[in-house]
Chain A
Amino acid sequence: MRMPIFRGAKRRWGITLSVLVLASLLLAACGEGAPSILNPAGPVAAKEAGLFWFILVVATIVFVVVEFILIWSIFRFRERPNSPTPRQIHGNDKIEVAWTIAPSIFLFAVLIGTIYTMFSLNQPTGNTLNVQVVGHQWWWEFDYENAHVTTADELVVPTNTIIHLDLKSDNVIHSFWVPQLTGKTDVIPGHDNTKWFEADTPNQKYLGECAELCGLEHANMRFYVITKTPDDFQTWLTGQQQAAQNSSDPNAQAGKALFMGQGGCVGCHGIVGVNLKSFSDPLAQKLIGPNLTHFGSRRTIAGAVLTWDPSSCVVQGTGSSAQIVNEQNCGLWQWLHDPQAVKPGNDMHIPQLTDNQIALLVAYLESLT
């Protein structure tokens, strides 16, 4: 029996290829900050991740065995000057039966594990919070059903609670996905899909994404799930239920006037206490932009394309001389300066605002805590 010969060029190529492929595997370990499904932070994602590790083991074994047979055969049975004519074998029924049954057993074991896990992911009973999720082009709206609170971009949830989501869309299909907490479910016009998840750890921020092509800005429809302890969550929720406060800051007051008047913002955005009587005000359904009642307490803009960071958006001066210091570093300034440049094709078409107007609006929005 001849031994396989791995000479020169083939050995080098074999090593290079293996290294490249392994390198990308290793890189997987480096994606620490990524919204990774292998970094689960709740029971649903944990079950789904567990299945991956099982699949990986089985697939790797099959891969190594079959590829080894393939590559070994290429070297072992390669034509050489003295090789004889091979035996003209046409088949072997017994082997066929064997290698039909063996993978079938494997596959059915996997299937049983699959179906078992599917049914074990039914929503459990217990302490439940109901949130309606509405996919818009291109941002996510969250309505806390019992508390009658509406926010956008950030889904704040308590730990130790089953979060039940009613998933809706009134335009195209989107898909709600938070890799570290749960697999995705589509939001489909005319369909009442639901899903649930639970978060293990408070005071965390998990990235969510839209995962179904929904038009121009499908890539920029991100959101965050922000976890709090149940007590902190109650505090937050009570705060959110209040109407927007009036600010004593003259810049914020001037900004509010702009919001209601020349800026035209009230045409698309609702603020409870300004143009909405409450979160359930029927007018809210007709406004195409996100509800901004407590925008000051959020930290994301426009589907998480930009970060809303008040410390980068310091307003200096008052009245007509108010300006933002280093405005280029202020995400909110970038957005209000030219929303189409930040997120081409989105529905926010506004007249050109002066830097002063933007500064006043920023002051107002910051006051909406």
Chain B
Amino acid sequence: MATRTITEVGVAQRKRFSETYIGEWITTVDHKKLGIMYIFTGIFFFLVGGVEALLVRTQLAEPNGKVLDPATYNAVFTMHGTTMIFLFVMPTMTGFGNYVVPLMIGARDMAFPRLNAFGYWVVLFGGLFLSSSFLFGAPPDAGWFSYAPLTEVTCGNGVMCTPGLNMDFWALGILMLGVSSIAGSLNFVVTIFKMRAPGMTINRMPLFVWMTMITSFLLLFALPSLTAAAVLLLMDRHAGTHFFQAGFGGDPLLWQHLFWSFGHPEVYILILPAFGIISEVLPVFSRKPIFGYTFVAWSGVAIGFLSFTVWAHHMFAVGLPVIAQAFFATSTTLIAIPTAVKIFNWLATIWDGKLNMKVPMYFALGFVGMFLIGGLNGVALAVVPFDYQVTDTYFVVSHIHYVLFGGSVFAIFAGLFYWFPKMTGKMLDETLGKIQFWLFLIGANLAFFPMHILGLLGMPRRYYTYPNEPTWSWNELNLMATIGAFLIAIGVMVFLWNFIKTLRVGQKCGTDPWDAFTLEWDTASPPKPYNFLELPVVRSRRPFYDKKNPDIADWKVATH
């Protein structure tokens, strides 16, 4: 509601829309507000995707489940993947990037604030559009990677495959979200290259900024493949073309090559910002600098480049020539090396440190433990003949959830608990945070570890049900996984309680509750709209540490 104010002259004036509380948020181009909006949107879709996961696990808790019919099941697991990847992890990571990167580099805002706002609203609209498909009775139902020709209107022999709008929702939604990601990536690249405070060379910027930069380049180079694929699919479906249909000169495998040329860099897009968050949290809570900054930074670059060379490891079972498979086995093995280097550097960071065991540190340490498992079963998947057996089974579902939940999600919560005080001036409850952590850790292992075994025991993925065979152990393992999923759900509810309670009556904190190292902590909590009153002084990788400890500042003491 517009309220009236009296000016000095005594004439009543209406408040502008952008000066009202709601109007401020809707019209904002401020990176901090947009960051918060991205994060709220991400968390909302985390809940949506989580409900979808619980539906899947409830259906699979018992053999011959009757909770979901196959059509609904196929839609629910498709939307679980699509929502979690495109509407939760990516927006939340973008949210952190938006909020934190300009502060970390000592900038006033992002390079293109209005483009930034555009990017956010497209995500919100795209997410609502994609989710609205349920209301139209046509949710995407061909898996998050939508293999042709199942996604075509007809596929061979006049068989109707997807005549309804399901795949149109998917393709159009993906195209919209891609536009947002490109806008955001351009913004990050220009901001990071051109708006760092004086003294902050590329080699002195925080690792979270490095990882955001690499992620942005990956998005810029990978999205064209996905965009092309989605457009070609829409053309096949509505313009009479046959790009992905055999029998007319097209080829279903073209879809897979195009999709995975995006899809593989995409998974690194999901994890590199997580690596960045962990590389910020571990040093602060070990009270020493990151070990091997240059190696952590450049291993991220190596992963970025290599991520474009491994895509066909998703296609080992499609009948590629053996020599081609050997190439991709090699590139996939190679990409494990920089990843291992990062893990060793993180361990060396906490080694001989003084560990401040607060909730962000719990999640960061949990990340290392869980991501290791995901990395190991990932290397296993690179062993091609073994992959012939376990690809498209629950073994892969286990891998992806260890790296995505144990990896990205744990890192997101580390980031949330770490930066929440900066964003709101209040501390999230430590006890509730620890309870949530243990529910997540135990729930995730209970949910995803048995899936290794389910894969080895022959259970393919994307099965809406399985037969009642007591000697197979499928019944028990599926039930364990379902229980784990519900433990995670309880953890999420603990988080929501913590989040809402703290926003209302949380314990107030100062500007630097964690005694941190980087510039975002050298501001008010929450920061003023202009971020910094004076241009920060940067003489090392830990400018705020240097400011607080002038006698033992890094630039004075460190020879390496």
Contacts and interface: CB of A to CB of B under 8 A. Distances in A.
Given A34-B458, A67-B369, A185-B319, A103 B336 contact: yes
Contacts of A169: 156
Given A66-B347, A96-B292, A184-B389, A170 B376 contact: no
Interface in A157-186: 167, 169-173, 175, 177, 179, 182-186
Contacts of B309: none
A88 B295 contact: no
Interface string B323-337: 001100110011011
Contacts of A66: 343, 347, 372
Contact of B333 (A45, A83, A93, A107): A107
B53 to A, nearest CB: 17
B389 A189 contact: no
Interface stretch (A147-155, A210-218, A243-251): A210-218
Contact of A17 (B74, B334, B384, B445): B445
Contact of B351 (A52, A73, A210): A73
B161 A215 contact: yes
Contact of B458 (A47, A209, A219): A209
Given A77-B355, A86-B353, A87-B288, A213 B383 contact: no
A5 interface: no
Nearest to A187: B319
A28 B456 contact: yes
Given A31-B453, A48-B386, A89-B288, A111 B333 contact: yes
Contacts of B155: 171-172, 189
Contacts of B69: 344
A114 B392 CA distance: 19
Interface in A2-26: 13, 16-17, 20-21, 24-25
A71 B462 CA distance: 35
Contact of A111 (B330, B390, B438): B330
B365 A74 contact: yes
Please report whether the interface of chain A is mostly helix, strand, loop or mixed according to DSSP.
mixed
A367 interface: no
B383 A89 contact: no
A71 B380 CA distance: 24
A62 B347 CA distance: 14
Given A48-B389, A51-B385, A90-B558, A85 B354 contact: yes
A126 interface: no
A78 B373 CA distance: 24
Interface residues of A, number: 102
B25 interface: no
B489 interface: no
A27 B453 contact: yes
Which of B143, B293, B387, B473 has the most chain A CB within a 10 Å cutoff? B473
A325 interface: no
Contact of A62 (B159, B376, B382): B376
B1 interface: no
Interface string A45-75: 1011101100100010011001101110110
A117 B70 contact: no
B203 interface: no
Given A77-B355, A104-B337, A122 B382 contact: no
A63 B456 contact: no
B246 interface: yes
A258 interface: no
Contacts of B287: 79, 85-86
A118 B385 CA distance: 6
A100 interface: yes
A95 B250 CA distance: 52
B6 interface: no
Given A90-B291, A190-B251, A175 B368 contact: no
Interface stretch (B34-42, B257-265, B464-472): B464-472
Given A78-B357, A118-B322, 7 more contacts: A32-B471, A51-B386, A107-B333, A114-B385, A211-B461, A218-B463, A219-B462
Interface of A: 13, 16-17, 20-21, 24-25, 27-28, 30-38, 45, 47-49, 51-52, 55, 59, 62-63, 66-67, 69-71, 73-74, 77-79, 83-93, 95-96, 99-100, 103-104, 107-108, 110-111, 113-115, 117-119, 121-122, 137, 167, 169-173, 175, 177, 179, 182-186, 188-191, 193-194, 207, 209-219, 344-345
28 contacts: A24-B477, A28-B453, A31-B453, A37-B390, A63-B373, A63-B376, A73-B351, A74-B350, A77-B350, A86-B287, A90-B291, A93-B560, A96-B295, A103-B337, A103-B340, A118-B385, A119-B322, A122-B322, A172-B156, A173-B147, A175-B460, A183-B389, A184-B391, A188-B246, A189-B246, A191-B318, A191-B319, A209-B458
